Amino acid sequence: MGKLNCDSMPRFLQAILLLLSCVFGLSLGTELSFVTCGSVIKLLNLKHNVRLHSHDVRYGSGSGQQSVTGVSAVEDSNSYWSVRGTSDVLCHRGTPVKCGQTIRLTHVNTGRNLHSHYFASPLSSNQEVSAFGENGEGDHLDEWMVQCGGSVWKREEAVRFRHRATDALLSVTGEQYGRPIHGQTEVHAMSSPSQHSLWKAMEGIFMKPSESPAGSRDYSHPHTEF
């Protein structure tokens, strides 16, 4: 399992993560076997070996919102996403994400949420996936259900992300862009599950569950969002 490469992150983000590591406790390697709320992670599409990515480049068609792509580069700070709860249901920091739980994935460098809607994607004409909102706040079209096989989202497990509003799955089928994002792969949503919609948590910084004085797990930490 890869570890977080802080050298590929902006200085302001490095400072935030250092502070959090001192105050709340973080797992930088393989201590935790599951993904937790508040974690900052990269997601790999297993079929096409690209990481979920975004940047301040807008689509030239469809919604015109911030584009979401797949990149083969491992060390790219624009591929970090924060695992968060929804506007209705908080996701307490360090709590393991359950299979079937609805979450938001917020792009760390731009503060916009992974989003989908009934616009056509630019290359394949599947359902467009974009990044939307400001400072982590968007709308109900930012909500995704984690589909996995057990009780919680395990880091070694292949999972799917189903868009709650449209019932489509976050997918990659291999189409590549030209300029200005040459070589990056289209990310879109599709109605049917396939190998194209399997993802795995990779490099990242994983929030540890808080410990009570008696040593038992305490998932009711009063701080709720990263």
Task: Give pLDDT < 70 ranges for the chain.
Answer: 1-31, 210-226
pLDDT of residue 32: 83
Q: What is the tens place of the pLDDT at every residue in 53-70?
A: 999 999 999 999 999 999
Cβ atoms within 10 Å, residue 212: 10
pLDDT of residue 7: 43
Tokens of 66: 């911030």
Can you tell me the distance from the alpha carbon of 54 to that of 184, in angstroms, rounded to the nearest whole number? 10
Residues belonging to the chain: 226
Question: Model-level pTM?
Answer: 0.82
Provide the Cα torsion 29, 34, 39, 41; round to 10°.
Answer: 70
Question: Is residue 58 classed exposed, middle or buried when 0-12, 13-18 and 19+ CB atoms within 10 A define those classes?
Answer: middle
pLDDT of residue 23: 47
Q: What is the tens place of the pLDDT at every residue in 206-223?
A: 998 864 333 333 333 332
Instruction: For residue 113, give the nearest of 97, 89, 135, 94 by alpha carbon.
Output: 135
3-state helix, strand, coil in the chain (%, to 5): 10, 40, 50
How far from 24 is each of 69, 106, 214, CA to CA, in Å? 32, 20, 17
Cβ atoms within 10 Å, residue 15: 11
Can you tell me the distance from the alpha carbon of 88 to that of 51, in angstroms, rounded to the nearest whole number? 28
CA 30 to chain CA centroid, nearest Å = 19
Residue 114: partners with Cβ closer than 8 Å, 6 or more residues away? 52, 68, 81, 104, 105, 106, 107, 129, 131, 142, 144, 161, 170
Tokens of 52: 């979920």
